[in-house]
């Protein structure tokens, strides 16, 4: 059954250049390998200055449903270490993987107490030395890390480390909480790991 979406946009200062003008969000209900045409059946455009009708070429597309498996993994563990450090120091805190087999990507959100610590940087660990890593430490109390390795990650060890500046007084502590952890193997199958949180104590 065909579905139709109507979109109307207006800008008194004209649209110009290249790029997206709108996004359409779909709820995917079809079976794996099924497809749907994405066709622009009608397009009307006018110049803002004088309302002259414009002729704009269009290109249709196709949406294909893919299969992504989800599997429980009792062997894969993502673990934060219990760590200590003095006020004014910068400490590298590792994010460790245990029981890793052919892991292709990981997305990790780490939370900490911004009154005690301040995230400075994220560096690759021994397991992540060949991975592409992107990290965002701009938001206080949160570190977002995305890693991808097309050759697969195997074994045990640190996949990344977070450089934390210690700003709390001696005796204060911070949680090191793995708030979100998404792991996929090389076949794009989702692996659900065990997560172990840690703590940081200022000495």
Is residue 151 domain-resident?
yes
Is residue 33 domain-resident?
no
Is residue 25 domain-resident?
no
- pTM, full prediction: 0.65
Beta bridge partners of 36: 63
C-alpha distances in angstroms, 1 versus 20, 36, 41, 59, 65? 27, 10, 16, 21, 16
Q: Return the DSSP state at 37.
A: E
Backbone angles phi, psi at 140, to 5 degrees: -60, 135
Is residue 26 domain-resident?
no
Residues 6 or more apart whose CB falls under 8 angstroms from that of 100 comprise 76, 127, 153, 154, 155, 156, 159
Is residue 159 domain-resident?
yes
Q: What is the pLDDT of residues 152-199, one digit of tens each?
A: 999 999 999 999 999 999 999 999 999 999 999 998 888 989 999 999
Q: Which helix (H) or strand (E) holds 175?
A: strand 173-185
The domain tally of the chain equals 1
Beta strand 70-80 with 190-196 is: parallel
Mean pLDDT of 96-123: 96
Which domain, by its residues, includes 184? Answer: 70-202
Backbone angles phi, psi at 89, to 5 degrees: -90, 165
Q: What is the pLDDT of residues 32-89, one digit of tens each?
A: 778 999 998 888 888 877 888 888 888 889 998 876 555 544 589 999 999 999 999 9
Is residue 28 domain-resident?
no
C-alpha distances in angstroms, 122 versus 112, 155, 157, 202? 14, 21, 16, 20
CATH number for position 153: 2.60.40.680
């Amino acid at each position: 059954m065909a579905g139709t979406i109507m979109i109307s946009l207006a800008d008194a200062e004209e649209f110009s250049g290249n790029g997206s003008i709108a996004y359409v969000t779909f709820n995917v209900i079809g079976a794996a390998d099924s497809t749907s045409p994405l066709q622009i059946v009608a397009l009307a455009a006018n110049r803002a200055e004088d309302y002259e009708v414009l002729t704009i070429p269009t290109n249709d597309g196709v949406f294909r449903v893919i299969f992504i498996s989800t599997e429980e993994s009792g062997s894969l563990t993502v673990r934060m270490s219990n760590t200590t450090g003095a006020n004014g120091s910068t400490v590298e805190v590792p994010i460790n993987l245990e029981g890793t087999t052919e892991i292709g990507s990981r997305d990790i959100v780490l939370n900490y107490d911004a009154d005690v610590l301040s995230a400075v940087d994220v560096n690759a660990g021994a397991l992540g030395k060949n991975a592409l890593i992107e990290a965002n430490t701009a938001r206080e109390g949160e570190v977002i890390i995305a890693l991808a390795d097309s050759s697969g990650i195997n074994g045990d060890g640190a996949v990344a480390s977070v450089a934390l500046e210690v700003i709390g007084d001696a005796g204060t502590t911070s949680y090191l909480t793995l708030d979100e952890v998404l792991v996929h193997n090389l076949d794009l199958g989702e692996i659900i790991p065990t997560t172990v949180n840690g703590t940081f104590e200022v000495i």
